[in-house]
Amino acid sequence: MDEVFGEPNFVNTIVFKKKSATYSTETVFDYLVWYCRNRELIKVRDLYEPRSAPEGETKFNTIVTPDLVFHNVA
């Protein structure tokens, strides 16, 4: 990717869990590689509020609304 966008424009690699593994060889995480056009003009905004206890959740079955109300959808 550095050859396309240039090494100075690399911002970060974001790793996120997409699901629990059902097989030992199945991938659990996905990666988002973030580049920008101009690091001088980059804008970063918080997209979510961190949850207080995500370890207690066994599945991705909760929706958090903008007013921070948790809804179980399972």
Per-residue pLDDT of the chain (74 residues; tens, 9 = 90+): 888 888 999 999 988 888 776 777 777 888 999 999 888 898 888 777 766 666 665 666 677 787 888 887 65
Is residue 67 assigned to a domain? yes
32: which strand partners? 14
Residue 43 belongs to a domain: no
- Chain centroid to CA 26: 19
Residue 61 lies in a domain: yes
Q: Number of folded domains in the chain?
A: 1
- On whether residue 15 sits in a domain, the answer given is yes
Angle formed at CA 20 by CA 14 and CA 25, multiple of 5 degrees = 90
Q: Say if residues 9 and 36 touch (Cβ distance below 8 Å).
A: yes
Indicate whether 19 belongs to any domain: yes
Domain range holding 10? 2-38+50-72
pLDDT for residue 67: 83
Query: What predicted TM-score, i.e. pTM, was given to this entire model?
Result: 0.51
45 falls within a domain = no
Q: Is residue 17 in some structural domain?
A: yes
Buried-state track 3-39, b at ≥16 Cβ within 10 A, e below 16: eeeeeebeeeeeeeeeeeeeeeeeeeeeeeeebeeee
